[in-house]
Amino acid sequence: MRYWAECGSFLREYRRHIRATGALLPSSRFLAGALVSELRKPRQPARILEVGPGTGSVTRQLVRHLIPGDHVDAVEINSQFVALLRRRFDQEWAFRRCRHQLHLIHAAVQDLIGAARYDFIISGLPLNNFPGGQVRDIFKTYNRLLKPGGTLTYYEYVLVRQVMAPFVNRRERRRLYRVGRVVGGYIRSYQIRKQPILINVPPAIVRTLRLKPLLAEAGAREPRRDILATRRKHPLAGSSRGTFRF
């Protein structure tokens, strides 16, 4: 019954804000479970950011895997969803038992301040609905907010850009192409895992990215840069133009 109530709220907001909502129905429990899969691994207490929680279908799965010391910030731009989430946080036992660990923020994720604040980011934003420049800004924000070694997990609907392209005008095709270039670049550079979720409307792919290496890994690469820099300056090294890439 809870899921069908969420569907009604989601459909109303979809009609009002098609671009920002991005889907006809909330995430299935299979998709929600995949989005929070990183939290099921053995870990230390963490700071978690959920972006675009909507009606709370993913949040409900997320709170099942909280451990003492975890802190969750849920950032939502839609005022109707914010009001719904506040009621759920205050009234439902699944949320009430860990209410002290949850903080709801009514804002766009780009408006969050600070850097390297979160160990996990779980995103439900409909990236394919936004302009390419906005998608680039969102990923830059994720990169700013994630700690070294932290993970970003998000989803996209299967082949949605390819399916839409033949049925839209030239301007919309250009927008989809730009979104694809931005998202594809991050996938090629940082993806560590992907998981298809067929039991969802529509089917989706959950992707996990590590945007920054662990500090230990980053430090391990420093000596190599120093050695190469010394080699360039050494009088017997010869020209290194076009030889070394960073």
**What are the start-end ranges of the E strands in 140-227?**
146-157, 191-197, 204-209
> Residue 165: its pLDDT value, please?
78
| Distance (Å) of CA 104 to CA 17, 50, 88, 99, 132 | 20, 10, 11, 10, 27
Helix, strand, or coil here: 36?
coil
pLDDT tens for each residue of 73-105: 999 999 999 999 999 999 999 999 999 999 999
CA dihedral 140, 190, 54, 132 (to 10 degrees): 50
> Residue 4: its pLDDT value, please?
47
Q: Domain coordinates of the chain in residue numbers? A: 2-212, 217-246
Chunk the chain into consecutive blocks of 10 residues (it has 246) and report each block's average pLDDT, rounded to whole numbers.
50 52 69 97 97 94 98 96 95 96 98 96 94 97 98 92 83 93 97 95 94 72 43 44 38
> Residue 19: its pLDDT value, please?
52
> Residue 219: its pLDDT value, please?
57
Average of per-residue pLDDT values in the chain: 84
> Residue 159: its pLDDT value, please?
77
Q: Domain 2-212 classified CATH 3.40.50.300?
A: no
> Residue 117: its pLDDT value, please?
96
> Residue 221: its pLDDT value, please?
52
What is the pTM (predicted TM-score) of this model?
0.80
> Which residue type occupies 184?
G
